[in-house]
């Protein structure tokens, strides 16, 4: 066996341009998601006067009692428990049924298998907000 050093081939410039564009888009998307979230957090830590004075700035005095007051007065503890009681069984049911359906679609050869798969795919690709807005349209009139 030879002890020759192996030299990795250089990557073309197009590779680095594509990687830079890819990471740039990821950073922009992360900022698109995180900036409104941070704005909500910073606003929650301000007094009403500080919000009116500088709505986009950092809070000069971090007021965590605002969050405690909102939790207690707004009954968020009860709402959180209700959400957990509702969400956990639904998620367990959906995951178990999805595993069974996925196994059946992957392993069993039956007529119409691809049609069922495409219906599932269409359901995953459609936005639930479109269906919800269509349900609320007659009520708004």
Q: What is the pLDDT of residues 6-24, one digit of tens each?
A: 888 888 889 999 999 999 9
Task: Give the count of beta carbons closer than 10 Å to the beta carbon of residue 66.
Answer: 16
Q: How far are the Cα atoms of 22, 27, 123 from residue 130, in angstroms, in the given order?
A: 30, 28, 12
Whether the Cβ atoms of residue 63 and residue 45 lie closer than 8 Å to each other: yes
Q: How far are the Cα atoms of 25, 33, 100 from residue 20, in angstroms, in the given order?
A: 9, 20, 41
State what percent of residues in the chain have pLDDT above 90: 47
3-class secondary-structure state, position 45: coil
Which positions ≥6 away from 117 have C-beta within 8 Å?
105
Closest to 56 in 3D by CA, of 68, 42, 45, 71:
42
Q: pLDDT under 70 in the chain at which residues?
A: 1-4, 129-131, 133-141
Which positions ≥6 away from 67 have C-beta within 8 Å?
44, 45
Residue 136 has a pLDDT of: 66
């Amino acid at each position: 066996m030879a002890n020759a050093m192996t030299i990795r081939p250089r990557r073309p410039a197009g590779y680095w341009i594509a990687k830079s564009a890819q990471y740039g888009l990821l950073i922009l998307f992360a900022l698109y998601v995180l900036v409104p979230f941070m704005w909500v957090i910073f606003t929650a830590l301000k007094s009403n006067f500080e919000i009116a004075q500088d709505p986009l700035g950092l809070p000069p005095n971090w007021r965590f009692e605002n969050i405690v007051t909102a939790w207690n007065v707004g009954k968020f503890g009860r709402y959180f428990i209700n959400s957990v009681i509702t969400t956990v069984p639904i998620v367990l049911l959906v995951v178990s049924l999805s595993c069974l359906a996925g196994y059946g679609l992957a392993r069993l050869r039956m007529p119409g298998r691809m049609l069922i798969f495409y219906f599932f795919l269409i359901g995953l690709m459609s936005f639930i907000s479109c269906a919800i807005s269509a349900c609320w349209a007659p009520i708004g009139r």
